[in-house]
Amino acid sequence: MVDVAREAGVALSTVSRVVNQDPTVGAEFARRVRAAIDTLGYRPDEQARQLRRGTSRTVGVAAREMSARNPVLAEFELGAHASGLVVFGASTADDVARERAVVLSMAHRGFDGVLMEPIGTDHSYLAPEIASGLAVVAVDRPVSGPPTDAVLSDNSEGVRLAYRQLAAHGHERIAYIGDHERIFTGAERAAAFRACATADGLPLDGLVHSGETEQARISAAVRAVLSAEVRATALVCGNVTTTLAVLAHLAAEVPREERPAMVGFDDFPLAGLLDPPLTVVAQHTSEMAQAALRLMTARLGEPERAVETVTVPVSLIARGSGERPPAR
């Protein structure tokens, strides 16, 4: 803090007030202090701050289950516990600012490593934390910025499997509805679908719909691809949230005999109980979790080792919805 004060040309007390988010600090002084912090790579000692305050401002959650919706996290927790590691989780809710706050809080509280599903396109804030010894492993999507270990699914191959399954059952008008393409997985899967259709010499007009995974947007996409102008007879859904929204729309608005064939990306527990049972591209979440734990423990044991990316294969589970021929 003395170095920051010298760099910013302010009193030590001003640095302390900025670090502790005192709103009474003048804007120009605060700007100079933050610039000096960035220049010098200063990191507050969170444990020292906790001693001074007498409180950590951290609340633990010891619930029966927090990882039911994230099978990779569930598997990772099991393996970590067996390896003598304790996992404390926090959700980021797909919010860039919340992700940064969560990750930096973990780093400043002395966590050895962070497993993260990255959001956004700039993770440069991780660089000083990694340089200070934080082990970071990305899962499902890579970090944008400093090189980090990562575990990914073979997104492109998964979409190719889905597309070819539908094409093999006579579909020539196949549509794609998926996540926003600002997200790594959304971009990879949409690009793979476009490549499949292009390779077959098929036009893409009206067949690719990516965006926020909200019911209204997805319902509008389903109406568009089933319209008389587009006439899609089959759908590839880009993730499980999209799949569930598409199923909800079809159940509410489309007669059973007029519903398209369908393949979803991601399996889920009730997929086999639907009518017809849902054909899916399944990610091998257990393998992803095991790979993530291996990378984490290896990074903790050997911080200078080369960065590694593991791509885990996917597989198609044919259950019926993707094997229906086009309606005549």
**pLDDT single digits (tens) 301-320:** 999 999 999 999 999 999 99
Q: Do 134 and 278 belong together in one domain? A: no
Q: What average pLDDT does range 52-72 have in this prediction?
A: 68
Beta carbons of 150 and 140 less than 8 angstroms apart: no
Backbone angles phi, psi at 311, to 5 degrees: -105, 120
pLDDT-based confidence at residue 61 (cuts at 50, 70, 90): low
pLDDT-based confidence at residue 1 (cuts at 50, 70, 90): confident
Write down the pLDDT at residue 46: 61
pLDDT-based confidence at residue 247 (cuts at 50, 70, 90): very high
Cα 257 to Cα 2: distance, rounded to the nearest angstrom: 73
- Is the residue at 272 inside a domain? yes
Q: Do 177 and 196 belong together in one domain? A: yes
- Edge-first strand order for the sheet with 279-283 is 208-210, 174-178, 234-237, 261-265, 279-283, 314-317
- Is the residue at 61 inside a domain? no
* Cβ neighbours for 256, distance < 8 A, ≥ 6 positions apart: none
Write down the pLDDT at residue 56: 56
How many other CB atoms sit within 10 Å of the CB of residue 106?
20
Number of H helices, E strands in the chain: 12, 10
- Is the residue at 326 inside a domain? no
Q: Round the CA-based radius of gyration of the chain to a whole number and report it.
A: 24
Residue 100: which domain range? 71-153+286-312
pLDDT-based confidence at residue 119 (cuts at 50, 70, 90): confident
* Count of domains for the chain: 3
Beta carbons of 213 and 245 less than 8 angstroms apart: yes
Q: Do 168 and 231 belong together in one domain? A: yes
Write down the pLDDT at residue 170: 96
Tokens of 209: 């719909």
We report the CATH number of the domain holding residue 29 as 1.10.260.40
Q: Do 239 and 184 belong together in one domain? A: yes
Q: Do 160 and 278 belong together in one domain? A: yes
Q: Do 176 and 254 belong together in one domain? A: yes
Q: Do 232 and 203 belong together in one domain? A: yes
Write down the pLDDT at residue 238: 97
Q: What average pLDDT does range 192-207 have in this prediction?
A: 94
pLDDT at 3 over 80: yes
Beta carbons of 237 and 204 less than 8 angstroms apart: no
- The alpha carbon of 156 is separated from its chain's Cα centroid by a whole number of angstroms, namely 16
- Is the residue at 64 inside a domain? no
Q: Do 124 and 226 belong together in one domain? A: no
Q: What average pLDDT does range 188-213 have in this prediction?
A: 95
Cα 290 to Cα 285: distance, rounded to the nearest angstrom: 9
Q: Do 136 and 232 belong together in one domain? A: no
Tell me which of 1-5, 165-169, 188-192, 283-287 is least confident: 1-5
* Cβ neighbours for 23, distance < 8 A, ≥ 6 positions apart: none
Q: What is the pTM of this model?
A: 0.81
What digits encode the pLDDT tens for the residues 248-280? 999 999 999 999 999 999 999 999 999 999 999
Q: Where are the beta strands (DSSP E) in the chain?
A: 113-116, 135-139, 149-153, 174-178, 208-210, 234-237, 261-265, 279-283, 309-312, 314-317
- Is the residue at 117 inside a domain? yes
Cα 268 to Cα 280: distance, rounded to the nearest angstrom: 9
- Is the residue at 75 inside a domain? yes
We report the CATH number of the domain holding residue 255 as 3.40.50.2300
Q: Do 84 and 111 belong together in one domain? A: yes
Q: Do 170 and 29 belong together in one domain? A: no
CA-wise closest residue to 150 among 288, 9, 319, 11: 288
Q: Do 242 and 176 belong together in one domain? A: yes
- Is the residue at 62 inside a domain? no
Write down the pLDDT at residue 66: 72
Write down the pLDDT at residue 20: 76
φ/ψ bin of 242: left (φ > 0), alpha (ψ from -120 to 50), beta (otherwise)? alpha
3-state secondary structure of 42: coil
- Is the residue at 244 inside a domain? yes
Please tell me the number of Cα atoms within 13 Å of 183 on its side-chain side: 21
